[in-house]
Amino acid sequence: MHAKYPVTSGIIEGCMNVIKVIKRGACGFRDFEYFFLRIKYAFLPYKIKQEVKDKLFRNCSEYLLPPIDHQK
């Protein structure tokens, strides 16, 4: 079948694996809505993920630790 039609289910299997990993770590999730948001976020393109992170964490610089000075 693959020799005649070069179609595989590899992409779908990879997506299902990502969902399984999120589900395995979902023990502490508050509700299903947050779980589904995590799944949607996992499949966003990288550029859009960066835009979302920049928008969420734009004003969080005061919470960051100061850089470590190893020269002391």
pLDDT reported for residue 15: 92
Per-domain residue ranges for the chain?
Answer: 10-63
pLDDT reported for residue 8: 84
Predicted structure pTM score: 0.60
Per-residue pLDDT of the chain (72 residues; tens, 9 = 90+): 667 888 888 889 999 999 999 888 877 777 888 888 888 888 988 888 888 888 777 766 555 666 666 665
Length of the chain: 72
pLDDT reported for residue 54: 80
pLDDT reported for residue 5: 81
Phi (first) and psi of residue 60, to 5 degrees: -100, 15
